[in-house]
Amino acid sequence: MRLFLLSQVEEAAHKKHGGPEGLEEQRRTQLSAKVEKRVTKRKEDSRKEEQAAERVKQIKDRIEQESKKGKHVVEGEVYNDETGMHERTFTDGPAVEVELI
């Protein structure tokens, strides 16, 4: 372990940074870089959260569309006395004869 005198530390700082003003400028630069890094990271995290929410919304919409696609909605139903069958017409397809039990 090495111990330094305060005068030695001040002399090394003066040589490296050009005096107390240079040291303060170095500290301000480091602090502003740290703050900028945090802001950038938060923006990136926010963007990722928005993208994830959009993907979830797209998946939900796709599932909803696929579930609607498979359903047959009865548009009308007519009873035929001659055959004793019910004729159902659907919104997305042809008419079908069914026997109700």
How confident is the model over 22-56, as pLDDT tens digits?
888 999 999 999 999 999 999 999 999 999 999 99
Sheet holding 85-90, edge to edge: 74-80, 85-90, 96-98
pTM assigned to the model:
0.48
Cβ atoms 98, 83 nearer than 8 A: no
Alpha helices (H) in 1-101, listed in sequence order: 6-17, 20-69
Domain boundaries, the chain: 1-70, 72-101
Per DSSP bridges, beta strands 74-80 and 96-98 are unpaired
Q: What pLDDT digit, counting tens, does each position of 47-88 carry?
A: 999 999 999 999 988 888 876 766 666 677 777 777 778 787
